Amino acid sequence: MNSLLKRIALTSLALPLLSGLAIDPAIADGWVRIYTNRTFNYVTYVHKNSIQRQGAIRYFWVHLALTEDGSLAAVQSIPVAGINLYYSADCQSKLVRLRTLEAYDPQGRLLKQENLGDRASLEVMTTDTPETRGLVRYVCGR
C-alpha cells in the first residue's frame, strides 16, 4: 500500500461507499462529519448506518474528502480526491484493523482498491488528535 495512503488510513483510524465523489458526503444520507483537517484540506466522515456492532467490535466505513483543489495522495501519478476506508475496531482493547481501502480520482472513478481483510496488522487506536478522538467516540459510542 502506498505509504501516504497507509499513513492517512491509520492516522484517521477509521474512512462507505459513495456512488461517486460528485455527491457531497455532508448531504449524502447517513454521513456524519467528524473533523475538518485544515492543514491537509480534507474532511473526515463516518457513515453512521455502516456501523455494525458485534460485542466490543465495530465495523464501519470512513470517507476522506478534499475541501479544495489538490489531492490527498496519488495513484500512478493520478491525484486522489477521496478515500473510503473500511475498518474493524475493538472498542474494549483499543485495537483497529484497516480492512478495505478505496482511492478515487476527482471525477469519482475508482483508482485503486485493496481488500486486506484479516491480513492487515492490528494497530493501537490513538486518541491524540481531534480527528481520532472524534472517530473513537462516535464509533465506540454506538
pLDDT for position 28: 62
pLDDT in tens, the chain (142 residues): 444 444 444 444 333 333 334 345 444 678 999 999 888 888 999 999 999 999 999 999 999 988 777 777 777 788 888 899 999 999 999 999 999 999 998 888 999 999 999 999 999 988 888 888 899 899 999 8
**Superfamily the domain 3-140 falls into:** Surface-adhesin protein E (2.40.128.710)
pTM for this prediction? 0.77
Q: Which three cell numbers stand for residue 134?
A: 472524534
pLDDT for position 25: 44
Look-up of cell digits 467528524: 34
pLDDT for position 24: 52
pLDDT for position 1: 46
3-state secondary structure the chain: CCHHHHHHHHHHCCCCCCCCCCCCCCCCCCEEEEEEECCCCEEEEEEHHHCEEECCEEEEEEEEEECCCCCCEEECCEEECEEEEEEEEECCCCEEEEEEEEEECCCCCEEEEEECHHHCCCEECCCCCHHHHHHHHHHHCC
pLDDT for position 37: 87
Give the integer Cα–Cα distance in Å for 44 and 33.
Answer: 6
